[in-house]
Structure 1
Amino acid sequence: MDPSTEQVPRTRVTAGLRALRFDAGSLALNLIASLGRRGSTPIERLGTLDRLREWCDGVGLRLHDEAVTEELRTELRTLREAAYDVVAAVVHDRTPAAASIALLNDRARPAPPQPLLRATGTGVEVDGADRPLTGRELQSIVVRDLIAVLGDPERRGALRACDSSLCTMIYLDPTPGRRRRWCSMRLCGNSAKAAKHRQRQASAAPGGS
């Protein structure tokens, strides 16, 4: 067979691979992780409006019902790619695209809701803390989180990309010495260990190289 026409095997997409990730270490990084396996065949985890609602629930943000639209889902995916370009540039020591910076700055401008204190007959309560968000307010909160990560030298220095060439998810490494290699030991770490074990078995087998 001509190598140029040989098809690359597609990744088997399991429910586990489609599951939303909330373990990247920040709100913005969790959004970036909603596209999985960037290093191979990407897996869209934000593929429906129900998944958008699930993602918002998972990060503790509540949208107006009328804000949950295909337009917002498209905007979030555009924001996600600009955010990935910027954090990947930090991790890999390169310059991000000017368009990514411009888009993120534009989406950060709408002011997110500001809860206020209100006196009551029996004391003080917080007013507006549970107000549902508009789509642009949601995006502003995400971008401001990203700016907070990049503006904090400690957190910026903790950005890492998963060592799995299939995954490459970017996360914050909170471990001493920043020695964590995988986005998740349970997922990519165990897969890498299993692959090395299979390689050792193959090498040890008769006829193995």
Structure 2
Amino acid sequence: MGAAPQAPRTRVTARARDLRFDAGSLSLNLVATVGRRPVGPVERMGDAERLVAWCRGVGLTPAPGYAAEALLSSLHALRDAAYDIASSLLDGHRPHPASVELVNDLAACEPPAPRLKLTRDGVRPASGSDLLTEDALLSVVARDLIELVSDASRRQRLTRCASEVCRMLYLNPESGRPRQWCSMRRCGNNAKAAAHRRRRAATAGGRPAGPDTP
């Protein structure tokens, strides 16, 4: 076996720990709660407070009384399985059987159907219809991953950020030019700035700049 790839030397800044909600799908937003995979992983959802922030950011509401630590641990396990499966669509590796089994098991739970109620002011969502048990929440995420893998159009739009520091998995938009970076404001601008510094350093005979932090 060859040596493991070495992570570029970059600082783990507050921005590197920011939660990301721009991966293009629910399951990929979960995968993005670890930054800089696979060579320099940065945990972005490591405690109950970050779990609440992530759920709010993706529009999932756990039912009152949920066990935060247990849900966090389950999401971490699903996250690893989702990364294993999603990244296999890009690099062709065979996902671990345990990853596929976990996703299938979690998806088997039927999420609650949304409900309506009729009031004097018209039709409204039924109170509490958006609250998810822990099993239902995990099922929603697992089903999103299965839908991604099952949809040829989404599979074709799946890509990996070109930044050697970031390497985030995301879906390109359905129309328009495919993106090279996960975000132009983050990795795109960083890459262009680093390239500009390298050109200046080469012109001045200095040492080229390394990769920037996403």
The TM-score normalised by the length of structure 1 is: 0.87
- Note the alpha carbon deviations across 1:147-196, whole angstroms, 9 max, x for none: 11221111111000111121111000016465311011111111111221
Mean CA deviation greater in 130-139 or 70-79: 130-139
The code of the aligned residue for 2:178 comes to: R
Over residues 104-139 of structure 1, what are the superposed CA-to-partner deviations in whole Å (9 max), with x where a residue is unaligned?
Answer: 001111111112345567765443563421111110
Alignment map for 1:74-153 (pairs within 5 Å)? 74-118=73-117, 124-127=123-126, 130-153=129-152
Using the alignment, how far apart are the partners of 1:95 and 1:141 within structure 2? 24
| One-letter code aligned to 1:187 | R
User: Residues 7 and 165 of structure 2 are in contact (CA less than 8 Å); yes or no, is this contact kept in structure 1?
Assistant: no
CA 1:121/1:201 → structure 2, altered by over 3 Å: closer, same or farther? closer
Verify the 8 A CA contact 1:28 1:145 in the aligned structure 2. yes
Partner of 2:21 in structure 1? 22
Structure with greater helix share of residues = 1
The CA deviation at 1:93 is: 2.3
The match for 1:198 is 197
**CA positional deviation for 1:64:** 2.0
Matching residue of 1:166: 165
Structure 2 unmatched runs, 5+: 1-5, 209-214
Please report the RMSD computed on the Cα atoms of aligned residues, expressed in angstroms. 2.4
Q: Tell me the residue number matched to 2:181.
A: 182
Distance in 2 of aligned mates of 1:150 and 1:68: 30
Q: 1:8 to 1:105 in 2, by over 3 A?
A: closer
2:107 & 2:174 partners in 1: Cα distance? 30
Further displaced range: 146-155 or 83-92: 146-155
Greater Cα offset, 119-128 or 22-31:
119-128
Q: Which amino acid aligns with 1:83?
A: A
2: CA distance, partners of 1:174 / 1:80: 23
The equivalent residue for 2:71 is 72
Percent of aligned positions that are identical: 49
TM-score, normalised by the number of residues in structure 2: 0.85
SS in 2 for 1:136: helix
Amino acid aligned to 2:106: R
Count of equivalent residues: 203
